[in-house]
Amino acid sequence: MLNKLLSFTFIFFSTLNLLAANDTLVVSNGDVLIGELKTMDRNVIQIETDYSDKDFMIEWDMVKEIYSDRLYIIITTNRNRYYGTIKSDKTDKTKVIIKDDGYQYYSNISDIVFINQVDKDFLSRLSASLSIGYSYAKTNNLTQFSMISNLGYITDTWSADIAFNGANSTQDDIDPTKRNEGSIGLRYFLPADWFILVSYNFLQSDEQKLKLRSITKLGIGNYILRTNAVYLSASIGGAWNNENFTDAAEPSKNSSEGFAGIELNMYNIGDLSLLSNIIVYPSISERGRVRSDFKFDLKYDFPLDIYVKLGYTFNYDNKPVEGASETDYIFQTTVGWELW
């Protein structure tokens, strides 16, 4: 009898511990999902369960209740940012209770726009995507290759990202052409959705006779609008521009600039998502010079985290080096894969 009682007690407390370690979602059709809640971003929540080989991806507006004792970065539409646990209010299921550093906060569940688990290993904070495009024409052996890649990492106080966009082509009897650009950026989060940004950007462009343009930026920004369908951010600051040209006779050039940018991300439009930004650089040390960079990406998601992306990038400089074009642009169609 004693052995049976001990066995029952062990099973009982083991079950309690298992349940305590799990997160719970209740969706609008009454289904209950129990597992590990990983992230919610762009109106999609991801949960890993023991009874499925693949993570469940559920639209956030289908979630009616949520319960977890894990630590998360939680962001709401009113620009509040929390680092704590999240549970539905049992007296009012339209609200959630967020516990952050001993304090308790209430929010409408519909006002939650971002959740990311931060007390896990390195990979759980990582996001990545890679898309590639390739074409070949027998005529003149024309070969074109494109690649777009992104790598991101987020914590409760800062985020970092690395991006690269390259397009190169070769053809018989014609010099190879290339256009490569990339960036490394860091954002430190402040209250009320403000952030400090530091970044390094570079551009290589045969069209603008740029062997290398490198830009170091420091500024401040704000998420003006953040919902489960769209976010809009703006930033402003200063930059240091260093330019080296493909023409060896043209000396390298350094200049100081200001910058102002705006970014729009729309993602709750079915399987489509749209990302667009524009940055304007009025020169401080070169009177009358203005540069701008514009980007537009349209992405369509397929199963298994595969997607097709249509991208357009445009660069403008009203005072380029002699013999170079004021504008440079590229259209890209690529197929890729992303890691949540």
Q: What is the DSSP string of 64-128?
A: EEEEEEEEEEEEETTS-EEEEEEEEETTEEEEEEEEETTEEEEEEGGGEEEEEE-SS-GGGGEEE
DSSP output for 191-256: GGGEEEEEEEEEEEETTTTEEEEEEEEEEEEEEEEE-SSEEEEEEEEEEEEEEEESSTTSPPEEEE
Measured in degrees and rounded to the nearest 5, phi and psi for residue 303 equal -60, 165
**Burial class of 4 by CB neighbour count within 10 A (0 to 12, 13 to 18, 19+):** exposed
| pLDDT digits 0-9 by tens, 61-112 | 999 999 999 889 899 988 888 889 999 999 999 999 999 888 999 999 999 9
**Residue 337 in contact with residue 314, Cβ under 8 Å?**
no
Q: pTM here? A: 0.79
Confidence of residue 142 (pLDDT cuts 50, 70, 90): confident
Q: Check whether 13 has a pLDDT greater than 60.
A: no
Q: Residue 46: which residues within 8 A CB-CB, separation 6 or more?
A: 37, 38, 39, 40, 55, 56, 57, 340
The model's pLDDT over 202-240, given as tens digits with 9 standing for 90+, comes to 999 988 899 999 999 999 999 998 888 898 999 999 999
What is the rounded distance in angstroms from the CA atom of residue 256 to the CA atom of residue 62? 49
Domains of the chain: 2-120 (no CATH), 124-339 (2.40.230.20)
pLDDT band at 20 (very low <50, low <70, confident <90, very high): very low
Flag whether pLDDT at 149 surpasses 90: yes
